[in-house]
Amino acid sequence: MNGIQPPTIEYGQLSPLLLVFGAAIVGVLIEALAPRYLRKSLQMPVTLLGLVGAFALVLTVVMQGVPTKAAAEGAIAVDGPALFIWGVILVLAVISVLLINDDNEFVASAAAVPGTPEEEDAIAAGGAHTEIYPLALFAIGGMMLFASANDLLIMFVALEVMSLPLYLLCGLARRRRLLSQEASVKYFLLGAFSSAFFLYGMALVYGFAGTVSLAGISDALGAVGGQNTLLLIGAGMLGVGLLFKIGAAPFQAWKPDVYQGAPTPITALMASGTLVAAFGAVLRVFWVALGNLDWDWRPVMWGVAILTMVAGAVLAITQTDIKRMLAYSSIAHAGFLLTGVIATGAEAQNALSLKGILFYLVAYGITTVGAFAVVTMVRDAGGEAGHLSRWAGLGKRSPALAGVFAFFLLAFAGIPLTSGFFGKYAVFAAAVAGGAVPLVIVGVVSSAVAAFFYVRVIVLMFFSEPAPDGPTIAVPSVGTAGVVAIAAAATVVLGIYPEPVLRLAEDAASTLFIR
Amino acid sequence: MPWLPILIAAPVLGAVGVAALPKGSDKAAKQLALAVSLVVLALTLAMAFQFPLESGKRFAFEQTYSWIPSFGVHFGVGVDGIALVMIALSAVLVPIVILASWHDADGTGAENPPKRSVKTYFSLLLVLEAMMIGVFAATDVFLFYVFFEAMLIPMYFMIGSYGGAQRSYAAVKFLLYSLFGGLLMLVAVIALYVTAGKNTFMFPELIGAVTDPGVQKWLFLGFFIAFAIKAPLWPFHTWLPDAAAQAPAGAAVLLVGVLDKVGTYGMLRLCLELFPQAAKDFTPLVIILSVIGIVYGAIVAIGQTDMKRLIAYTSISHFGFIAMGVFAMTSNAQAGATLYMVNHGFSTGALFLIAGFLIYRRGSARIDDYGGVQKIAPVLAGAFLVSGLSGLALPGLSSFVSEFMVLIGTYQRDEVLFVTSAIIGTSGVILAAIYILWMYKRVANGPTAESVSGMKDLNVREKLVIAPLLVLIIGLGFYPKPVLDVINPAVQHTLTSVGVQDQPPVAGVGQADEKGAGN
């Protein structure tokens, strides 16, 4: 009886992933079959139900006990960190989708050339691309898969599933369409380039190890002790592909352009969800597959982390556009997170670093979505008032909104009694415990530099006189207001009593990554 | 009764209450803020009267709650004598400042400041009060750090939104300097936790936990630079004149009177006790910086043309005295330094407030714009003179006692460095006479300047503001014993932790009293 064994697929463990992808496919079917006027009212519930249901399924998996073995024949690792990251991505996705629900942000007809009668017709006809919902769902599913892939091939597939919809979504801004399309093309070209790096690196590593499974690569490392040209070049190229996704210097150039051009709700999704997912993948590749090669990658990572923190903080100072500034801030934060990635050591140390990174991702992700939600609300005739000078005196005209935004900025700056402080503390504490004190000193100095540009926005909003023709504050939709409220509440609660979330992160991190 | 948590919570609740008042209820906001601050003062006094002088325990009114067990952080509060007098200083100054700032946000006054949100101003003040009390009460190093950093934010908004013409520049400079120091301290806080390996941030358990001299030095530096920026010590002082000159007078009082003391308090509490060996190694450096600060601050103060900047520079000189007293490590010097922190808060507070009254009337901070105020507003000028004289440490006024104790305590060390420093430091007293009296002369004496001819004397509210400060200045000048009785045991504890053999007690409380009272 030597028939072909069917592969075992742990459907229960993979159910959150399957539900998100399933909802995405239902969304595509709705686009194909439902009449135009019904689409939006169908898409929104499907999307939200899919995401909320997936979150419930994540909880169920956790309740049933965190699996100790990789699922789907070792292709996907549903371990503690993966489940935590899934939960975080889903929460961030839900609040981002509430933002995406704002028609005003998306183009009526993407195919119409900007400024032509076709475009005006499309707007007049009330056209809308409801495809954004299934696209977003595919991207979200890709993010989840990216963070839990246990072999390089799956990781590459996830990378593409995550990125391709985002390339498209970036080009769909309703206003400043050329900027948006430029962002889309830039993101696509650079993203394709980095994917190629990743793919080629994967091929080289396969050439060395004879396997694409992360655990297999780790085992193969033992044989050569890391002195293999194929391996080193391959590992370097994998690193380039991954560092591109988190926007670490010197691969950060796409971030400001893309963040600025993309519709703001999509920027919010990218800045939070993609970053979380990409860190999940970085950790898996560098800790699980290349964990024993740390003597080789650590010095490089030190350089990358320092460069990223300094570049993000310094370049942000000269920015005059709020979204570009937040993009550079996101680069600096990626650098802070990298200090945690570097601080490896014994198992307890790894768990400490992982816990710090996980908490940081939660704190940063939620605050980021909130900040971009505020950006969507400050509008003038040409859409969002992106230029910083337009924000002058906002605190006088709209104290509550400006106050919330100032609070988010203080959280980014890591002032105590905000979530950002504990995030930074957790990562830096892990880095100090792991012996990376110089890195932490660079980190705090760049935090001080970064504080300058956050504070500059506060100065503009509160200490400057309002411009006479200043932007109006859009009356927020229920969704947008909800997003701002949720983000502000989370930033406060995590800043005053972070213990429950820290405890969750600790539990998730304690098992480390399964192989 | 959990005194300290209540003292921290009360102003926060008050701040929320003030902020929640409906639009247009400016007067109610002021009254509520004043009422809350008076309640806090009453509670502080009630607590102070129960403070055990002879308990032998390090901290009184200790309360420890687990806050973030994952990080080993507790909400731990408790006071010794030093912390108690600092909390009392804050609690006394806040209602005075609220009363003095009655019209700061109204948009009235000769300077023509724009109308600002009154509610916000007073709720920021109350939030700041909670944090000031918290920072002195914290017995957990992490909690101390949290308050230390968080208290920047209300002050930042008070300077930036309610200050003078250069307010936003001054506010940003203040915030960035302090933040930079604070972040270096954060590294040291983390490293302290990791090196101590005790899984706790509780201060009493961390004493003596770091033994390696090299590590001690680095950690000491991390903390010290933060405190030196905060205090501020020469050469980290450049932010203070800007911030103090641009802040509204009330905020300047709290900034210089209390916030800056957190720096010297931190040196005394954390730098010395946690890293005794490093503190001893760095003593010569700190003493030299302090002496430079004393002389430099005084000389630069003489050259100022802006009253608030002048007062700020005098404070830099005085902080030199305080730091010198802390690092001289004798019981006289440290008790004197602690007493100086309190006295300086009152006398500089009075100076800033009177300068604020003058500026409110005349609309200018330039000394040249005044002249002959004494003839038109004798009460104002008299109060100005008394607080000025306290600032120059005239015997019989409170600063004298503390300055004298610091100098004698430093001299007692009987080593070349300390003796020289004490002697050079004494010149600061003479220079102080120049800057204070010369300012007073230009403002209050001589022919009445045209521009001040219509100036009104102090009204009832302003008299109520100044009277308690003058009473304290004169009272503590003649009879500092109650305060010293509270401070001395705490200083002894500190010296024991540092492991310093005190100099033979030639000058104790008694002698200082005599000097103070005899003159």
Residue A52: CB atoms within 10 A of its CB come to 15
Span of A113-117, A369-373, A414-418 with lowest mean pLDDT: A113-117
Using CB atoms within 10 Å of the CB of residue A48, give its burial: 0 to 12 exposed, 13 to 18 middle, 19+ buried. middle
Q: Which residue of A359, A457, A463 is the best one to mutate when testing the B interface, meaning the one whose CB has the most B CBs within 10 A?
A: A463
Span of A248-257, B116-125, B332-341, B500-509 with lowest mean pLDDT: B500-509
Q: Which residue of B66, B68, B169 is the best one to mutate when testing the A interface, meaning the one whose CB has the most A CBs within 10 A?
A: B68
pLDDT category of residue A391 using cuts at 50, 70 and 90: confident
Question: Mean pLDDT throughout B244-250?
Answer: 88
pLDDT category of residue A473 using cuts at 50, 70 and 90: confident
CB contact under 8 A, A451 and B176: yes
* Shortest Cα distance, chain A CAs vs residue B105, angstroms: 14
CB contact under 8 A, A502 and B70: yes
Question: Mean pLDDT throughout B505-516?
Answer: 44
* Shortest Cα distance, chain B CAs vs residue A411, angstroms: 11
pLDDT category of residue B448 using cuts at 50, 70 and 90: confident
Name which of B289, B344, B266 is nearest B311 in CA terms: B344
pLDDT digits (tens, 9 = 90+) for B395-430: 888 888 898 899 999 988 888 888 888 889 888 888
Question: What does the H/E/C string look like for B293-324?
Answer: HHHHHHHHHHCCCEHHHHHHHHHHHHHHHHHH
Q: Show the tokens assigned to A156.
A: 């590459």
Q: Cβ(A365)–Cβ(A273) under 8 Å?
A: yes
Q: What pLDDT does A68 receive?
A: 82
Please compute Rg for chain B using Cα positions: 22
Contact A28/B at CB under 8 A: no
pLDDT digits (tens, 9 = 90+) for A314-353: 999 999 999 999 999 999 999 999 999 998 888 889 999 9
Q: Which helix (H) or strand (E) holds B201?
A: none
Residue B395: CB atoms within 10 A of its CB come to 17
Contact A500/B at CB under 8 A: no
- Give a yes or no: residue A380 inside a domain: yes
Question: Mean pLDDT throughout A187-205?
Answer: 94
Strands (E), A152-279: none
CB contact under 8 A, B179 and A448: yes
Say how far apart CA A124 and CA A108 lie, in whole Å. Answer: 9
Q: Which amino acid is at A222?
A: G
Q: Cβ(A268)–Cβ(A369) under 8 Å?
A: yes
Say if residue B235 is preceded by a cis peptide, omega within 30 of 0: yes
Name which of A201, A383, A410 is nearest A297 in CA terms: A201
Residue A402: CB atoms within 10 A of its CB come to 23
pLDDT category of residue B111 using cuts at 50, 70 and 90: low
Contact A157/B at CB under 8 A: no
CB contact under 8 A, A459 and B146: no
Q: Quick one: closest CA in B to A424, which residue? A: B186
Residues of A within 8 A of B117 (CB-CB) are 399
- Give a yes or no: residue A2 inside a domain: no
Question: Mean pLDDT throughout B457-475?
Answer: 89
CB contact under 8 A, B153 and A459: no
Say how far apart CA B479 and CA B517 lie, in whole Å. Answer: 7
CA distances from B246 to B113, B114, B238, B240, B347 (A): 12, 14, 13, 10, 20
* Shortest Cα distance, chain B CAs vs residue A460, angstroms: 9
Question: What does the H/E/C string look like for B434-463?
Answer: HHHHHHHHHHHCCCCCHHHCCCCCCCHHHH
pLDDT digits (tens, 9 = 90+) for A107-156: 877 778 877 888 888 777 777 788 899 999 999 999 999 999 999 999 99
Say how far apart CA B358 and CA B262 lie, in whole Å. Answer: 29
Which residue range is the domain that position A374 belongs to?
12-510
CB contact under 8 A, B68 and A502: yes
Q: What is the residue extent of each domain of chain B?
A: 3-518
pLDDT digits (tens, 9 = 90+) for A482-500: 999 999 999 999 999 999 9
Percent of chain B with pLDDT over 90: 41
Q: Which amino acid is at B200?
A: T
Question: Mean pLDDT throughout B453-462?
Answer: 82
Using CB atoms within 10 Å of the CB of residue A229, give its burial: 0 to 12 exposed, 13 to 18 middle, 19+ buried. exposed
Average pLDDT in chain A: 90
Residue of A444, A463, A499 with shortest CB distance to B184: A444
pLDDT digits (tens, 9 = 90+) for B2-48: 889 999 999 999 999 998 888 878 888 889 999 999 999 999 999 99
CA distances from A470 to A397, A398, A466, B58 (A): 9, 11, 7, 58
Q: Show the tokens assigned to A313.
A: 């903080």
- Give a yes or no: residue A361 inside a domain: yes
Residue of B67, B117, B153 with shortest CB distance to A415: B153
Q: Which residue of A408, A409, A410, A432 is the best one to mutate when testing the B interface, meaning the one whose CB has the most B CBs within 10 A?
A: A432
Give the SS3 label for residue A163: helix
Residue of A428, A444, A463 with shortest CB distance to B171: A463
- Give a yes or no: residue A7 inside a domain: no
Count of structural domains, chain A? 1
B102: DSSP letter: T
Q: What pLDDT does A38 receive?
A: 86
Say how far apart CA B197 and CA B191 lie, in whole Å. Answer: 10
Q: What pLDDT does B325 receive?
A: 92
Residues of B within 8 A of A355 (CB-CB) are 70
Residues of B within 8 A of A506 (CB-CB) are 70
Average pLDDT in chain B: 87
On the question of pLDDT at A394 being above 90, the answer is no
Residue B459: CB atoms within 10 A of its CB come to 11
Question: Mean pLDDT throughout B64-87?
Answer: 91
- Give a yes or no: residue A5 inside a domain: no
- Give a yes or no: residue A408 inside a domain: yes
Q: Quick one: closest CA in A to B195, which residue? A: A433
What is the full DSSP assignment across A90-132?
HHHHHHHHHHHT-GGGB-S-TTSPTTSHHHHHHHHTT---TTH
CA distances from A481 to A263, A363, A376, A409, B185 (A): 18, 19, 11, 18, 38
Restricting to A residues 75-134, those with a Cβ less than 8 Å away from any Cβ of B are: none
All residues at 6 or more sequence positions from B413 whose CB lies less than 8 Å from its CB, including other chains: B328, B329, B330, B419, B503
Tell me which of A232 and A384 has the higher pLDDT.
A232
**Residue B183 region by backbone torsions, left for phi larger than 0, else alpha for psi between -120 and 50, else beta:** alpha
Say how far apart CA A95 and CA A124 lie, in whole Å. Answer: 29
The residues that bridge with B60 in the sheet, in sequence order, are B79
On the question of pLDDT at B508 being above 60, the answer is no
pLDDT category of residue B452 using cuts at 50, 70 and 90: confident
Q: What pLDDT does B504 receive?
A: 47
Residue of A413, A433, A462 with shortest CB distance to B161: A462
- Give a yes or no: residue A68 inside a domain: yes
On the question of pLDDT at B112 being above 70, the answer is no
Give the SS3 label for residue B470: helix
